[in-house]
Chains A and B, each alone.
Chain A
């Protein structure tokens, strides 16, 4: 049985979910269109359900969701898509190139190959609008977040921190180490939903040259 706990008076958390179970389960709960629920946020191993406490209470909602998920069968196979994302590692975009090389004691060419050679799961979408948390990256290129976050990171920047790589899809402050840039605009505020990529989808980066940017 999935453990569900309250967090304050307006959130319940479905805990200890296995790999990508959160993505499938959150979509199923969403489809029920429960009016008391405001937001369903799916993380790597948990789901947070934010609700309106004037409409229901956490114990009631926990019971309701327990009952619902008992009836949900989670297929092992699911239609996750694979996205090929172009990335340019030119030094104009890879603004933390030097620091990453120094920290990992690898030359940038090697870092690049390690970053390119894996397919990544989309683990979480969010924190910032459209920010994609992808993982896991090769252990040899793990690097901590910067001590002082940059006040502005350009849209499209691809960065690494810890065992994850991420895509900044809006201009924003941030503490990750910038390794390159994609010309794609993955977050479009004029569309609903604003992003086509789902949690659980796979991302493969392929390298492009700076001159190719105009083709996207």
Chain B
């Protein structure tokens, strides 16, 4: 009997994502990968896997999965109700499961996405060096699309690792007043109406997806709408289209864009931002590149000292 999992109910949008598709944006192929890299990395840590390894990214409402081999699993990201056979289980720790167990992942409660991993490797072919699903050209995952009912994923290299739990200092609170730190962008000088950033609230539009988050509630005006030359953008780049509603590019971001770049979300806040639920409010806070680099170093040291995990690996 092969080592598989089987999708009994597909949920809203569950896809396979890793952090390996680099070097292909020059052909217009996005990096893809998890929206919330922080939770992705910590889920892999729970399973002693490389931080870039593939996981299931579960959006809003999860799948029901039959597990056909003995292994360990871990879930981390949004809080959500998870039922293993008839018992509720905790997220944020690795848990042993047996062949025949049924894992039922319900609604994401305080955020958008939760990550599910196994202490084994998915037996799937790579496209452009990665297993990340990008459904626009149907690459990655099992068949280039979100997981569907009756899909089966085969696993190899089944390992056993000791049980781990995410320390409380790594558990984010997804509260109501979310401040996103931003470095001013190369076209910020064009912005006309953004003098008091702490009074301006944006809302995440339900019309957001893995390519970008659309912000509503406040329109940014420019003092100059002349065409600009296309510029390279990446996850976290904030663009201002003509209608003034900012777009923050995310995992499936295009490689370049012709809209003015208002700013770039600092690296350590992008994951938190990805988990802000539709219609929730956010504020921007400007920081310098130097300050952002300090936050990155702080995070790197914290992961190293508390989890023995090298974020630069």
Contacts and interface: CB of A to CB of B under 8 A. Distances in A.
Do A and B originate from a single complex? yes
Interface of A: 5-11, 13, 26, 38-50, 52-55, 57-58, 124-131, 162, 170, 172, 187, 189-190, 192-195
Contact of A8 (B26, B27, B127, B237): B237
B254 A39 contact: no
B293 A10 contact: no
A41 B26 contact: yes
A125 B255 CA distance: 9
Nearest to B28: A126
A9 B27 contact: no
A194 B21 CA distance: 14
Q: Which 6 A-B pairs have the closest CB atoms?
A: A48-B232, A8-B264, A126-B28, A39-B25, A38-B22, A54-B311
Contacts of A162: 227
Given A125-B28, A126-B26, A41 B255 contact: yes
A54 B25 contact: no
Contacts of B25: 39, 41, 50, 126
B98 to A, nearest CB: 37
Interface in B232-284: 232-237, 254-257, 261, 263-267
Contacts of A43: 229-232, 256
A10 B137 CA distance: 26
Contact of B136 (A39, A46, A53, A172): A172
Contacts of B24: 39, 194
Nearest to A8: B264
A13 B231 contact: yes
Interface centre among A39, A189, A190 (most CB of B within 10 A): A39
B236 A10 contact: yes
Contacts of B300: 54
A83 B139 CA distance: 27
20 contacts: A5-B186, A7-B231, A7-B232, A8-B236, A8-B264, A8-B265, A10-B234, A10-B236, A39-B23, A43-B229, A45-B229, A46-B232, A48-B231, A125-B28, A126-B255, A127-B28, A128-B254, A130-B28, A131-B28, A170-B137
Nearest to B265: A8
A183 B232 CA distance: 30
Interface of B: 22-29, 31, 127-128, 136-139, 183, 185-186, 227, 229-237, 254-257, 261, 263-267, 289, 292-293, 296, 300, 311-312
A139 to B, nearest CB: 16
Contact of A55 (B136, B233, B312): B312
Nearest to A162: B227
B127 A189 contact: yes
A167 to B, nearest CB: 12
Nearest to A170: B137
A54 B312 contact: yes
A44 B229 contact: yes
A41 B232 contact: yes
> Is chain A's binding surface mostly helix, strand, loop or mixed?
loop
Given A11-B234, A43-B256, 16 more contacts: A7-B185, A8-B234, A9-B293, A10-B235, A43-B230, A46-B229, A48-B232, A50-B232, A125-B28, A126-B28, A126-B254, A129-B137, A172-B136, A189-B138, A189-B139, A194-B128
Contacts of A53: 267, 293, 296
A187 B261 CA distance: 29
Contacts of B31: 38-39
Contacts of B293: 9, 53, 57-58
Nearest to A50: B234
Contacts of A38: 22-23, 31
A39 B22 contact: yes
Contacts of B136: 128-129, 170, 172
Contacts of A189: 127-128, 137-139
Contacts of A126: 25-28, 254-256
A58 B137 contact: no
A127 B255 contact: yes
Interface centre among A13, A55, A128 (most CB of B within 10 A): A128
Contacts of A127: 28, 254-257
Contacts of B22: 38-39
A61 to B, nearest CB: 12
Given A7-B186, A126-B27, A126-B254, A46 B231 contact: yes
A56 B22 CA distance: 16
Nearest to B235: A10
Nearest to A173: B136
A69 to B, nearest CB: 17
A187 B186 CA distance: 32
A43 B28 CA distance: 12
Nearest to A52: B312
B260 to A, nearest CB: 12
A41 B128 CA distance: 16
A7 B230 CA distance: 14
